[in-house]
Amino acid sequence: MSKAGVLIVEDEAITALEIRNVIESSDYEVLSVVHSGEEAVKQALTLKPDLILMDIILQGDMDGVDAARKIKEFLDIPILYITALDSIEPNRLKNTRGSGYLVKPISEGELLSNIEIAIHNYKTTKEEMVNNKFESLSDVQVFMQSMIPQLSSNLPIDKRGSFLGTFHKKFEKYMKPRFLKETGRYDKGVFNKLPESGKLQVYLSWINSFFLNLGFEVDIFQQGDEWIITLRDCTWCERNYENIFYCLICQAILKQTFGWTNLDGDIESLSDASLSKSLCRYKIALIN
């Protein structure tokens, strides 16, 4: 079993050496020691450590809190702050979702125990998130499969509007709370601080998981200022490609869920739902 890797960010050479010696004498591996926030961001993205020990006061224009915030934009890594007592700013630390802080001077036992706790808590939280997501996606399968018998009956034209209206209401009631929770919309303080492109990435990640869980092959890519979503091998209509309701339901799901993001933009189908096919394409464009 490989040792957990630690990135040390500390601009005091003696302190950095002491911390390194303590960590290397334990069950952890020091991946790198850097002295500035800019270096910390670069090394974190390159090395992807299991934990970062981050001093708050650093050389350069980027302090430890700013570096942690930048790293968290790209990686979900536990960050344990090390700092002098007079440099602690609780609100700034809280907003970076750090795993706590240690006040200098730090004893060997205090350092190692806090590293162990931070890594353990991070792994436990990740496992809980994965389990919750799996359970939630299983519920999605049950919900969608409950609708399939109605779809497979190939409803006549005069019944389509009524069915789609019923589907919209049930989907809104059952799926929207899960959508808001899983995309972080309930934590609006965090979500609303994201740029429009960041909010769109959150949505694309969620919709990708949603359709993958239903058995589709999903491909999402950027094309200029637009994003293309391709759905292949629809398992719902593999025996009944003539039933266009399967395509209409996909369109309804995408338009309805995109509307929940409150993003200023639109999603449209690039496929003709009246044609028999196993591939559908959709385009998302944000309004600048």
* 186 and 250 housed in the same domain: yes
Q: Is residue 129 part of a domain?
A: no
Position 232 confidence tier, pLDDT thresholds 50, 70, 90:
confident
Which single residue is written with the structure tokens 């609100």? Answer: 91
Q: Is residue 73 part of a domain?
A: yes
Confidence (pLDDT) at 239: 46
Q: Which long-range contacts (CB under 8 A, 24 or more apart) does 103-112 make?
A: 104/15, 106/19, 106/82, 108/22, 111/19, 111/22, 111/23, 112/22, 112/23, 112/26
Nearest 10 degrees: CA dihedral of 194, 196, 200, 203?
50
CA distances 78 to 81, 112, 243, 259, Å, are 10, 14, 49, 33
Q: Where are the beta strands (DSSP E) in the chain?
A: 4-9, 28-34, 51-55, 79-83, 101-103, 217-223, 226-232, 265-269, 279-286
| Contact predicate 21/6, CB 8 Å | no
Looking at every residue in the chain, the average pLDDT score rounds to 78
**What is the DSSP code (8-state) at residue 28?**
E
For residue 258, give its domain range.
153-286
pLDDT digits (tens, 9 = 90+) for 238-269: 444 455 566 777 888 899 999 998 899 989 88
Confidence (pLDDT) at 31: 94
* 208 and 105 housed in the same domain: no
Confidence (pLDDT) at 277: 54
* 115 and 166 housed in the same domain: no
Q: Is residue 238 part of a domain?
A: yes
**How many residues in the chain?**
288
Query: Strand 4-9 to strand 28-34: parallel, antiparallel, or no bridges (unpaired)?
Result: parallel
Position 1 confidence tier, pLDDT thresholds 50, 70, 90:
low
pLDDT digits (tens, 9 = 90+) for 21-54: 999 998 899 999 999 999 999 999 899 999 999 9
Among 100-104, 184-188, 211-215, which is the least confidently predicted range? 184-188
Q: Which two tokens stand for residue 139?
A: 């519920």
pLDDT digits (tens, 9 = 90+) for 160-170: 556 667 777 88
Domain boundary among 71, 104, 122: 122
Confidence (pLDDT) at 140: 60
CATH number at residue 26: 3.40.50.2300
pTM more than 0.95: no
Q: Is residue 136 part of a domain?
A: no
Q: How far apart are CA 54 and CA 15, in angstroms?
A: 12
Position 234 confidence tier, pLDDT thresholds 50, 70, 90:
low
* 106 and 221 housed in the same domain: no
* 160 and 92 housed in the same domain: no
3-state secondary structure of 60: coil
